[in-house]
Amino acid sequence: MAYPDRHPRDDAGRLAVAETTVTGAVLETAREMAVRRGERAALRDPHETLSYSRFAAVVPAAAAGLRRQGVRPGDLGAVHLGRACDVAVAVHSITAAGAVPVLLPPGATAGELAALMSESGARFLLTGGALAPVSMAATERSYVRQVFTFGEVAGATPFARLVADGGAGAEPAGLAAPPVDPLRDLALRLGDPREDLTHADRLADLYRLAGAVGITECDVLACRAGDVPMPTWIGLIDLCLAHGATFVGAADVPEGAALLTAVERNAATIAVVSPAGLRALAYDHDAAPRAGLRLLVTGAADPEVVRACRDRHGWTVSPLA
């Protein structure tokens, strides 16, 4: 069954989003999906599955919890996380609170993280999992004064407490985030202030990816974080959330096996892959892959490999423009 796009298109066939922020568009879809198909998976990674109903409840509650903790519009919050579910919830919770996420590279050292936090002006941090020790150590050499963690970490406030506090009742007067100016207000910082993205930039990226991917509600998209730049990783997550599709974050380990496992376990219909990963998928496995898979390649693909994908497996291959 083919489901309709979650958002209409204009006369030129382009995605038409009424919201002024990506977070607004994502939450609009999540609330609708929570009513119609609440237990459909919005996000999956090797550690967790997050339904649309859970996402629609957690993000606004966490945003309110952040505001109760003193986060104010325009504050910058560092995000040092590696799991797709955690990254998506953190980015949209910070944005919904009126603050600005600062994405930090998962593989950075404590010294590199401290420098990025200081240069970006981050005042609080969301971290967790295996990355928590190094990012907690980095805060000692930065301006960060509050740390929120996915899971229990000594000296930090659990993210679950933010959600509980934010969902406890009506917010005190004056804490709600004000409207944003999409053309001027900062939406995302990628560590380096020279790479700042406004809300209009984020929406433009969503439009571009929608045109390249052609995703619908019935799709499941799988991708390894290591195969795409961080802004594209976030953009693909948002693309799925804005259309009611499912995003699967494959394990960031050797390319072919990890992605094939994610595709098979989650019945993925679309996979984003590097040229090297495409070759590994085409040749370096014994499992019977699913036919009809659409592969989006992040670089120039070898024509021989593209033919092998088509002839041996029945896959289509196109560039992720």
DSSP 231-252: HHHHHHHHHHHHHT-EEEEE-S
% residues pLDDT > 90 (the chain) = 64
Question: What does the alpha-carbon distance between residue 107 and residue 139 come to, in Å, rounded to a whole number?
Answer: 16
pLDDT of residue 254 exceeding 70? no
Model pLDDT, residue 240? 97
Label residue 127 by pLDDT band (50, 70, 90).
very high
In angstroms, what CA-CA distances link 1 with 8, 174, 217? 19, 46, 10
Model pLDDT, residue 76? 96
* Weakest-pLDDT range from 40-49, 105-114, 217-226, 285-294: 285-294
* Weakest-pLDDT range from 101-105, 125-129, 165-169: 165-169
Question: What does the alpha-carbon distance between residue 280 and residue 180 come to, in Å, rounded to a whole number?
Answer: 44
Model pLDDT, residue 146? 95
Model pLDDT, residue 16? 46
Cβ burial 149-167 (10 Å sphere, 16+ → b, else e): bbeebeebbebbebbebbe
Model pLDDT, residue 75? 95
Question: Both tokens of residue 239?
Answer: 């693309």
Model pLDDT, residue 198? 94
Question: What does the alpha-carbon distance between residue 214 and residue 198 come to, in Å, rounded to a whole number?
Answer: 24
pLDDT of residue 17 exceeding 60? no
Structure confidence by residue, pLDDT tens digits, 1-16: 333 444 444 443 334 4
pLDDT of residue 92 exceeding 70? yes
Q: Please provide the CATH number assigned to the domain covering 54-197.
A: 3.40.50.980
Structure confidence by residue, pLDDT tens digits, 144-203: 999 999 998 988 999 999 999 988 765 555 566 678 888 999 999 986 777 899 999 999
% residues pLDDT > 70 (the chain) = 87
